[in-house]
Each structure stands twice: as structure tokens, then as C-alpha cells.
Structure 1
Amino acid sequence: NVTSIAGKSTSFTRKGDSGGTVTFRFCPQCGSTVYWELSGVPGVFAIAAGAFADPNFPAPRVSVYERRRHDWVDLEGLPEIEHLD
């Protein structure tokens, strides 16, 4: 659960596949994606797992857009997760 979001970010908003908008938030120094928000799901934030260096960071619970993945992405052996596509 996100308890607070602080600091500066830059943003880019575009139309999502659902027809709503998605706003991506980036680090203003390096441009890395930090999190994004979906207009149809207020209060829910998706956080880029690569933003954390903690080796104990929780494993993903949901996988999305698997049909769009590159051929070199291997999903075999992943723990039980929800697949949304």
C-alpha cells in the first residue's frame, strides 16, 4: 500500500487501451518511470518495480500485456500470478 507520494516528477498523459487516460510520472533528473495512474481507477497507482533496488521487494502478483511481449521474454517458471491481457 502506498502511504504517500512526495517529491517532484514530470508527467506524460495519453489515452489508454480502455479509452481512459494513463498518466506516467518520471524522475525529472534521469527520466526513469517511477509510477503511473489510470483515470478509471482513482487512488490506484502502478509502481515500476525497477524503481526499487531492494532484493526483498515483493514478487509481481499480476502480469499484463503478455501477448505483446518480445519473443525473448520467457515466462516459464514464474510463480502463480494473475494474467491480464
Structure 2
Amino acid sequence: MAAADRAGQVTLRIATCRCGALTATCTGEPVRISVCHCLECQKRSGSAFAVQARWPLDQVELSGAFHEWVRTGTSGKPATFRFCPTCGATVTFVSASMPDLTAVPVGAFADPTFPPPRFSVFETRMHPWTGVTGEDVEHWN
């Protein structure tokens, strides 16, 4: 759900878990929106890829109970995932590869008008029937 005032007020976007007990309120526009095709993001999302938006840490407020799980990525750097203890949905995560940013899965916003991704990463793991299009998208293997 996105809310923006035409008078120039700051945009607020609210992401929730599936049961609604855990929310992330994101202030302002995301600084990065990306699609990841790595196998771990596929497992996390339950899809052939994952889409996430990132904000500076101080622009994301998490409300509600959550559990944390830390996983070391292929880069050797850890990522901390925060998820709902009731429904299990991941609502935010922070990676040591981008330590000043909080990532929020775009699906948690349940907003079909959310801005499109500008980055597509781990494309060597991309399913051949998928693709991220757009003239402004950077493609990384």
C-alpha cells in the first residue's frame, strides 16, 4: 500500500507478513529495487526469483514480534532475515554486502503499482523462461 500526497509529502509504503502481525513502514522512495535469481532467494520466495526494494536503515520501522535467522551467502557475508513467528513470512532482511540498507520483499507490499526493478542479479541462475525487461534495467551474472 503506497500513500503519497500531491502537495509533496513523503511517501510511506507499508509491507506486512501474510497474517498481518508484522509490518515494515518504509519512508520515502526505495534507493534500489532488484530481482535476484540466486537459488537461496528462490527458496526464500518460493518462486523462480525474488524481488526486493531497499531503503536506508533509518527509513524502515519494523512493528510486531519477529524472529531472526542469519545465513551466510555465497559471498561469505551474512544476511539477517526478520520474519513473522506466526505465518513465517520474511518482512525485512539486511545483508553485510549492503549493511546500510534494509531490504523488503516487494510482494509484502501487495501493491501492483510498486515501481519496477532496475537491477537483475545472479542471472546465471535465472530460469530460461523468465526475464526482466526494461530499458533501464542493469543485468548482472
Given the two structures, how large is their TM-score scaled by the length of structure 1?
Answer: 0.78
Moved over 3 A (4+): none
Instruction: Pick the structure with more helix per residue.
Output: 2
CA deviations on 1:30-71 (whole Å, 9 max, x unpaired) are 111222211132221222111111121111111112211234
Q: 1:55 to 1:17 in 2, by over 3 A?
A: same
1:61 corresponds to which residue?
118
| Distance apart, 1:81 and its partner CA | 0.9
Segments of structure 2 that go 5 or more residues without pairing to the other structure are 1-29, 31-54
1:42 to 83, 96, 99: 99
Q: With CA pairs under 8 Å and 6+ residues apart, which has the higher RCO, 1 or 2?
A: 2
Alpha-carbon distance in structure 2 between the residues aligned to 1:30 and 1:60: 26
Q: Percent identity at matched positions?
A: 41
1:25 corresponds to which residue?
82
Q: 1:46 to 1:83 in 2, by over 3 A?
A: farther
Alpha-carbon distance in structure 2 between the residues aligned to 1:84 and 1:24: 23
Once structures 1 and 2 are overlaid, which stretch shifts more, 11-20 or 39-48?
A: 39-48
1:84 corresponds to which residue?
140
Aligned length: 83
Instruction: Pick the structure with more strand per residue.
Output: 2
Once structures 1 and 2 are overlaid, which stretch shifts more, 12-21 or 26-35?
A: 26-35
Amino acid at match of 1:32: A
Given the two structures, how large is their TM-score scaled by the length of structure 2?
Answer: 0.51
CA-atom RMSD in angstroms:
1.9
